[in-house]
Copies of this chain bind each other. A is one copy, B any other.
Amino acid sequence: MMADKRLTYASSGVRLESNTQFVNAIQAAMHSTYGPRVCSRNGGFAGLFRLDYDEQLFRRNYRRPLLVGCADGAGTKVLLAKQTGRLDTIGIDLVAMNVNDLITCGAEPLFFLDYLAIGTLDPAAMVTVVEGIAAGCKQADCALLGGETAEMPDLYRPGEFDLAGFSLGVVELHKAIDGRRISPGDAIIGLPSNGVHSNGYSLVRKVIAKRKLKLSAEIDELGETLSDALMRPTRIYVRPILQLLRAYKVKRVVTGMAHITGGGLPENVARALPPDCDAVLHRKRWTPPPVFSYLQRLGIAHAEMMRVFNMGIGFVVFVRPTFAEAAIRRLRRAGENPVRIGRVKRGSGQVTIK
């Protein structure tokens, strides 16, 4: 399992050999995410996870289990994390990028594995990163089952690192959501983002460099520093979405979902649509966090903004029209602030934002 794996790999870096603290800290972070389904195995090569609970009461959770896998990286937000020294939450971004994709099929996240590649290992810094990953896993109610830390000084510059991850989920076959049931009339409900999340950071960093912005400066318009606004970790939508899905055991009220990442609302909502439906969104229905108008005024065209950023909506749920109000109430009870942002109509897979 990861901890052992890390130890093994660590031994190729001289400084690490004595650093059992690093391995112990990572092991503690991993164990903090373990539920009863994780089978711990000392000295192993892989992470083991029981699909069914062992208790008679819960056994056979899945009659026809469909496994769902996602791979994604944290993107160039890692460079901003290094620059600002904010290493504690970039792991939450990483988990979010993966599990928010996973739940679009209605899947329950089971476990996560990370890949952390670095130039030269600063053990304390990397423990902070892994603790962030564990924090993200807890928000997503999944186990950090393993991972790999690779020290590659010839590939990564000193202090720089890359972060990728893989999440595995499961959904009962007949409950899997794939967007094919989206129909004209369906309500489109948006769940707010809390800022830029983890996409568009190459553009963000370009603007910062061009305008010579100071990350630590307090920005009146934002009510916080630029670092605070830009490093805020991506929201994880696992709990409200699974609560919504579990509320309807027989009726299939949710017809589709989209995680709003690179490509923005237009591209990601389109990915969820069947070929004979259009989505019409009304952007007056929600107020994007101030960071977006701030970035736009620094010189990004509005069309580019829409295409690169989530613009305030991080996740989208398609719901049968007669259940829209009930779904919104349920999402509110789950702590969300859902907004009815649009409607599905007959069409050809297009997304219109009015």
Cβ of A111 under 8 Å from chain B: yes
Q: Per DSSP, are chain A's interface residues mostly helix, strand or loop, or mixed?
A: mixed
Report chain B residues within 8 Å CB of A272.
Answer: 43
- Which of A177-192 touch B at CB < 8 Å? 178-179
Are the C-beta atoms of A52 and B65 separated by less than 8 Å?
yes
Are the C-beta atoms of A48 and B71 separated by less than 8 Å?
no
The segment from A217-225, A242-250, A255-263, A283-291 found at the interface with B is: A255-263
Cβ of A64 under 8 Å from chain B: yes
Cβ of A91 under 8 Å from chain B: no
Report chain B residues within 8 Å CB of A66.
Answer: 39, 48-51
Choose among B45, B79, B146, B267 the residue that contacts A271 (Cβ–Cβ < 8 A). B45
Are the C-beta atoms of A71 and B162 separated by less than 8 Å?
no
A39 to B45, CA, bound (A): 29
A263 to B17, CA, bound (A): 12
Q: How far is the CB of A44 from chain B (nearest CB, A)?
A: 7
- How big is chain A's contact interface, by range? 35 or more
Of the listed residues A44, A49, A268, A272, the one surrounded by the most CB atoms of chain B closer than 10 A to its CB is A44
Determine the residue in chain B with the shortest Cβ distance to A62.
Answer: B51
Report chain B residues within 8 Å CB of A50.
Answer: 64-67, 173
Are the C-beta atoms of B107 and A70 separated by less than 8 Å?
no
Cβ of A34 under 8 Å from chain B: no
Of the listed residues A48, A69, A147, A271, the one surrounded by the most CB atoms of chain B closer than 10 A to its CB is A69
Cβ of A76 under 8 Å from chain B: yes
Report chain B residues within 8 Å CB of A110.
Answer: 67
Cβ of A322 under 8 Å from chain B: no
User: In the complex where A114-B71, A162-B117 touch, is A43 in contact with B11 (Cβ < 8 A)?
Assistant: no
A75 to B150, CA, bound (A): 7
Choose among B65, B117, B179 the residue that contacts A73 (Cβ–Cβ < 8 A). B117
Choose among B11, B102, B267 the residue that contacts A11 (Cβ–Cβ < 8 A). B267
Cβ of A141 under 8 Å from chain B: no
Cβ of A339 under 8 Å from chain B: no
A119 to B48, CA, bound (A): 34
Report chain B residues within 8 Å CB of A44.
Answer: 104-105, 178-179, 271
- What are 27 contact pairs spanning A and B, CB under 8 A? A4-B271, A8-B262, A8-B268, A8-B271, A11-B267, A43-B270, A44-B178, A44-B179, A46-B105, A47-B68, A47-B70, A48-B178, A50-B64, A50-B67, A50-B173, A51-B64, A52-B64, A71-B146, A71-B147, A72-B148, A78-B155, A113-B166, A117-B162, A153-B202, A154-B205, A155-B162, A162-B162
Given contacts A9-B262, A65-B65, A115-B166, 13 further A-B contacts (CB under 8 A): A5-B72, A43-B272, A45-B105, A48-B66, A49-B69, A50-B66, A50-B173, A71-B113, A71-B148, A72-B148, A76-B154, A117-B162, A155-B162
- Going nearest first, the 3 A-B pairs with the smallest beta carbon separation are A166-B166, A71-B113, A115-B164
